[in-house]
């Protein structure tokens, strides 16, 4: 036993000599640089980030292999006995097993690659930080510098606001290199525990720098308007202040607390001053407003509750192994057909625990959740126990990190965000190392090398896989740049998209199939057969969005096959009955078929979910163009006004129908020679719209036909004051009226105006009258 103890001490000494402090800190810095990565022409920043982390894993694995005698041999026994490692490994294995039940195995490959990269990084960090926890405050300082630089990039735009810049645009444009504004806020929030510990520990210029960094970080968090970070900040401060005041309410303890609170107060005042300048009435009203919106009544909260409800429905269908890792982004779409507008899809359940439960089964969901519960209580116990000061402070930092990551996991999806995942690896490594038994035995050197080789091989495989995923993201970026949904052609062609078709993932980050976009390119190129072949393949990958049937409808329409187009249009709409564009397309084709029954059917379904003005005005026009009578149209609009009282759009359409009806009926009376009734109807139309050019023109004709030229002229003139009458006919009849009144100069003036507009009779009258 003594010999083993001496050997362990020797190996530990070797380890400290071999893995220098510089190497450890350099690795930490190399991980944090992902927050400053460019996109490298990928649509999602996470793809180059995951590829980079996998390459880091290879480098670390190779380094550990050549130093196994002083690194890996002492760590693998710790991992072997760690319940945390076993739980995490079980989670990884069950994620992989979900491959066998997934409809879309391509998405399993993609997400499994990402979680394995993070798993390997956890092991590497555990090896790296073994016997190096004395570097904690240097790591804290490095993370704090990273947080300052990350936040200052955003804050500079608000310290000196560029001329003619829109504050709302600046606020909405905040995302850094994280992907979006909410992930930026989360990425900064998880670094706050390092700032809090650093401010309490350091003195002098380092303390002042950290205080300024805390102001910068919290100011940006406030400016993002993200609510989950606000919850996390409250929890972090509550726990850390209780920790500082745990022994006694001394003056020095209160001073520490004041130091921590002041930067946040200044940041809150600064953020509110920016919000006031923005004059926004939504997200950026004030901090108080955003805090008040943290409730289940808020729209985004309601959306999350819907997502979570859908997760439970999915998990009931496949409770054991789930629907397949990563498959939520496609398989959730049918569940959202009656809750999500247009082409919006959730992509994530906004709760990592529930998403894992749906994708990989209830057992794995419980394993993943229990991992956080165990991490929380292990570190909480160490904080309360106070047996070892260094162990306690590491546990405190880890506890704070668990809270930030755990709360974010409840409301968002940090699992697939490298900027968050590296801190998950850190908190796991800190917990494992901080709680290992000093009596742990070393692994055989040969076994350690074999295990290290396996880690390197796995990292090489994940690097290749991550590179393929990055290439797919690059293709997605090129297609998005072409904006082929809207443009007739782009930089790529259909054949080029097929040539670059990725092995995986087979969908965009927004869930559409790559084959679907290849089909859209072929439509633009009029190569309909290739387009239909692509849509057939795309339909097997994601048949739920209605987009494929929409584009099949487009092909049929361009071929002149209206019947087939109508079938596809209806199929697309019924797949996504809250999609306005699909509703409009199906409605227009129903008009062409004069299918009033279908118009009413689609209207009732659409208004069941989106009872808005367009849901009434569009079917009303469809009914009008399909030959519906006046009373039916007015009754239809009146029904809409009962639902949406005093809506200007519906009122305008009702008035338009009334005016049209008055004019048509007036013309009928005019044809019968009933001039008084004709005039009465035109006057009713003018009461609704005094500037209606057709009512004015028809009153002019009514008086003209009665020989009342002097009464006709004012109405004709008023009619041509507004745009719309461009054929020269009205000017011609003004000229004729003046001729009848013996006013040759005015007659010639208006006849010439009529001639300029190419009205044929005007030239004949000019030849006989004005020469």
Kindly report, residue by residue over 527-580, the tens digit of the pLDDT.
999 999 999 999 999 999 999 999 999 999 999 999 999 999 999 999 999 999
Residue partners of 62: CB distance under 8 A and separation at least 6: 456
- Note the pLDDT of residue 2: 47
- Note the pLDDT of residue 771: 64
Q: How would you classify residue 628: left for phi > 0, otherwise alpha for psi between -120 and 50, otherwise beta?
A: beta
Distance between CA atoms of residues 667 and 665, nearest Å: 5
CB-facing half-sphere around the CA of 271: CA atoms within 13 A: 28
pLDDT in tens, 278-326: 776 777 767 777 777 676 667 788 889 999 999 999 999 999 999 999 9
- Note the pLDDT of residue 115: 97
Q: Which of 199-203, 215-219, 456-460, 631-635 shows the lowest mean pLDDT across its residues?
A: 631-635
3-class SS of residue 220: helix
Closest CA to 105 of 462, 507, 533, 413: 507
- Note the pLDDT of residue 163: 67
Residue with the bigger pLDDT between 22 and 5: it is 22
Q: Residue 697: pLDDT above 60?
A: yes
- Note the pLDDT of residue 386: 67
Distance between CA atoms of residues 331 and 102, nearest Å: 10
- Confidence band of 437 (pLDDT split at 50, 70, 90): low
Residue with the bigger pLDDT between 693 and 3: it is 693
Distance between CA atoms of residues 512 and 507, nearest Å: 5
Cβ atoms of 614 and 580 within 8 Å: the answer is yes
- Note the pLDDT of residue 390: 87
Structure letter (DSSP) for residue 35: G
- Confidence band of 248 (pLDDT split at 50, 70, 90): low
- Note the pLDDT of residue 631: 83
Q: Residue 506: pLDDT above 70?
A: yes
Q: Which of 353-357, 442-446, 678-682 shows the lowest mean pLDDT across its residues?
A: 442-446
- Note the pLDDT of residue 15: 43
Q: DSSP secondary structure string, 502-535?
A: -SS--B-TTS-BHHHHHHHHHHHTT-HHHHHHHH
Distances (CA, A) of 104 to 86, 199, 231, 356, 532: 28, 49, 36, 16, 21
Bridge partner residues of 513 (DSSP): 507
Q: What is the mean pLDDT of residues 50-66?
A: 94
- Confidence band of 441 (pLDDT split at 50, 70, 90): low
Q: What is the mean pLDDT of residues 264-289?
A: 80
Cβ atoms of 57 and 462 within 8 Å: the answer is yes
Q: What is the mean pLDDT of residues 451-469?
A: 95
- Note the pLDDT of residue 179: 78
Kindly state the percentage of the chain with pLDDT values over 70: 94
Q: Which of 246-255, 352-361, 369-378, 674-683 shows the lowest mean pLDDT across its residues?
A: 246-255
Per-residue burial over 400-412, b if 16 or more Cβ lie within 10 Å, else e, is bbbbbbbbbbbbb
pLDDT in tens, 148-203: 999 999 888 888 776 677 888 788 878 877 778 889 999 999 999 999 999 999 99
Q: What is the mean pLDDT of residues 79-86?
A: 89
- Note the pLDDT of residue 3: 47
Q: What is the mean pLDDT of residues 590-618?
A: 90
Rg (CA), the chain: 35
- Note the pLDDT of residue 536: 96
Closest CA to 411 of 477, 351, 485, 341: 351
Please give the angle made by the CA atoms of 210, 212 and 215, to the nearest 5 degrees.
110
Distance between CA atoms of residues 511 and 340, nearest Å: 14
Distance between CA atoms of residues 345 and 579, nearest Å: 12
Domains defined for the chain, CATH in brackets: 136-294 (no CATH), 473-636 (1.25.40.10), 656-769 (1.25.40.10)
- Note the pLDDT of residue 287: 72
Note the pTM of the prediction, 2 decimals.
Answer: 0.86
Q: Which of 152-166, 499-513, 741-755 shows the lowest mean pLDDT across its residues?
A: 152-166
Q: Residue 439: pLDDT above 70?
A: no
Distances (CA, A) of 460 to 31, 64, 110, 415, 466: 18, 15, 15, 21, 10
Q: What is the mean pLDDT of residues 346-368?
A: 95
Bridge partner residues of 507 (DSSP): 513
- Note the pLDDT of residue 253: 81
Distance between CA atoms of residues 565 and 585, nearest Å: 10
Q: Residue 5: pLDDT above 60?
A: no
Q: Which of 56-60, 296-300, 360-364, 672-676 shows the lowest mean pLDDT across its residues?
A: 296-300
Q: Chain-wide mean pLDDT for the chain?
A: 89
CB-facing half-sphere around the CA of 665: CA atoms within 13 A: 17
Tokens of 335: 């569940």
Q: How would you classify residue 664: left for phi > 0, otherwise alpha for psi between -120 and 50, otherwise beta?
A: alpha
Distances (CA, A) of 44 to 221, 341, 509, 520, 540: 22, 24, 8, 22, 24
- Note the pLDDT of residue 602: 93
Residue with the bigger pLDDT between 132 and 88: it is 88
- Confidence band of 10 (pLDDT split at 50, 70, 90): very low
Q: Which of 432-441, 611-620, 666-675 shows the lowest mean pLDDT across its residues?
A: 432-441
Distance between CA atoms of residues 279 and 168, nearest Å: 8
Tokens of 424: 């998950």
Kindly state the percentage of the chain with pLDDT values over 90: 57
Distance between CA atoms of residues 125 and 30, nearest Å: 12
Distances (CA, A) of 509 to 34, 358, 475, 476, 497: 20, 19, 11, 8, 16
Distance between CA atoms of residues 223 and 283, nearest Å: 10
- Note the pLDDT of residue 130: 87
- Note the pLDDT of residue 97: 96
Residue with the bigger pLDDT between 717 and 440: it is 717
pLDDT in tens, 700-728: 889 999 999 999 999 999 998 888 888 88
Q: What is the mean pLDDT of residues 5-17?
A: 48
Distance between CA atoms of residues 46 and 114, nearest Å: 10
């Amino acid at each position: 036993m003594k010999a083993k103890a001496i050997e362990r001490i020797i190996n530990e000494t070797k380890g400290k000599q071999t893995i220098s402090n510089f190497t450890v800190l350099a690795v930490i810095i190399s991980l944090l640089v992902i927050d400053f990565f460019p996109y490298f022409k990928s649509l999602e920043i996470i793809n180059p980030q995951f590829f980079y982390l996998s390459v880091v894993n290879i480098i670390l694995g190779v380094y550990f292999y050549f130093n196994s005698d002083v690194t890996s041999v002492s760590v693998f026994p710790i991992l072997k006995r760690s319940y945390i490692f076993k739980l995490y490994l079980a989670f990884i294995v069950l994620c992989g097993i979900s491959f066998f039940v997934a409809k879309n195995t391509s998405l399993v490959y993609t997400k499994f690659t990402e979680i394995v990269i993070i798993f390997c990084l956890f092991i590497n960090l555990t090896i790296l930080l073994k016997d190096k926890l004395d570097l904690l405050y240097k790591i804290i300082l490095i993370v704090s510098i990273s947080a300052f630089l990350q936040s200052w990039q955003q804050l500079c735009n608000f310290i000196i606001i560029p001329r003619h810049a829109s504050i709302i645009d600046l606020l909405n444009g905040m995302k850094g290199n994280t992907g979006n504004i909410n992930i930026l806020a989360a990425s900064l929030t998880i670094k706050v525990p390092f700032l809090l510990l650093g401010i309490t520990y350091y003195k002098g210029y380092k303390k002042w720098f950290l205080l300024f960094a805390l102001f910068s970080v919290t100011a940006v968090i406030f400016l993002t308007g993200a609510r989950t970070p606000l919850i996390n900040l409250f929890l972090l401060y509550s726990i850390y202040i209780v920790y500082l005041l745990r022994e006694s309410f001394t003056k020095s303890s209160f001073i520490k607390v004041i130091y921590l609170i002041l930067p946040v107060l200044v940041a809150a005042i600064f953020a509110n001053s920016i919000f006031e300048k923005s004059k926004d009435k939504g997200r950026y009203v004030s901090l108080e407003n955003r805090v008040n919106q943290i409730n289940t009544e808020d729209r985004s909260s309601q959306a999350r509750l819907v997502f979570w409800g859908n997760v439970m429905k999915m998990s009931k269908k496949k409770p054991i192994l789930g629907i397949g890792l990563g498959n939520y982004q496609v398989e959730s779409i049918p569940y959202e057909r009656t809750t999500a507008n247009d082409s919006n899809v959730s992509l994530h359940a906004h709760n990592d625990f529930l998403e894992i439960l749906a994708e990989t089964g209830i057992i794995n969901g419980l394993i993943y959740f229990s991992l956080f519960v165990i991490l929380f209580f292990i570190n909480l116990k160490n904080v309360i126990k106070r047996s070892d000061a260094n162990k306690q402070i590491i546990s405190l930092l880890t506890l704070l990190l668990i809270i930030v990551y755990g709360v974010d996991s409840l409301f968002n999806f940090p699992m697939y965000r490298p900027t968050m995942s590296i801190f998950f690896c850190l908190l796991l490594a800190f917990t494992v190392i901080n709680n290992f038994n000093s009596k742990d035995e070393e692994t055989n050197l040969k076994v350690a090398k074999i295990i290290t080789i396996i880690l390197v091989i796995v990292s090489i495989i994940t690097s290749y896989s991550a590179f393929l995923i990055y290439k797919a993201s690059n293709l997605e970026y090129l297609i998005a740049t072409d904006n082929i949904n809207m443009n007739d052609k782009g930089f790529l062609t259909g054949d080029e998209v097929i040539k670059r078709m990725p092995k995986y993932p087979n969908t965009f980050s927004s869930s559409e199939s790559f084959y679907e976009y290849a089909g859209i390119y072929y439509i633009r190129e009029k190569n309909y057969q290739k387009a239909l072949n692509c849509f057939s393949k795309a339909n097997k990958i994601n048949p739920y969005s209605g987009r494929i049937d929409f584009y099949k409808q487009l092909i049929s329409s361009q071929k002149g096959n209206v019947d087939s187009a109508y079938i596809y249009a209806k199929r697309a709409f019924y797949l996504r009955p809250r999609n306005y564009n699909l509703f409009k397309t199906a409605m227009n084709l129903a008009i062409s078929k004069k299918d009033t029954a279908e118009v009413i059917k689609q209207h009732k379904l659409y208004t069941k979910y989106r009872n808005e003005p367009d849901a009434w005005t569009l079917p009303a026009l469809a009914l009008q163009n399909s030959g519906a009578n006046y009373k039916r149209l007015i009754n239809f609009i009146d029904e809409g006004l009962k639902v949406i009282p005093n809506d200007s759009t519906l009122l305008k359409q009702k008035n338009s129908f009334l005016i049209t009806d008055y004019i048509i009926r007036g013309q009928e009376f005019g044809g019968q020679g009933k001039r008084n009734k004709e005039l009465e109807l035109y006057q009713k139309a003018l009461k609704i719209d005094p500037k209606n050019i057709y009512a004015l023109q028809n009153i002019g004709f009514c008086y003209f036909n009665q020989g009342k030229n002097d009464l006709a002229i004012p109405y004709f003139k008023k009619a041509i004051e507004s745009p719309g009458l461009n054929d020269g006919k009205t000017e011609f009849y003004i000229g004729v009226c003046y001729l009848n009144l013996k006013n040759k100069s005015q007659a010639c003036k208006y006849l010439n105006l009529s001639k300029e507009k190419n009205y044929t009779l005007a030239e004949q009258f000019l030849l006989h009258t004005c020469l």
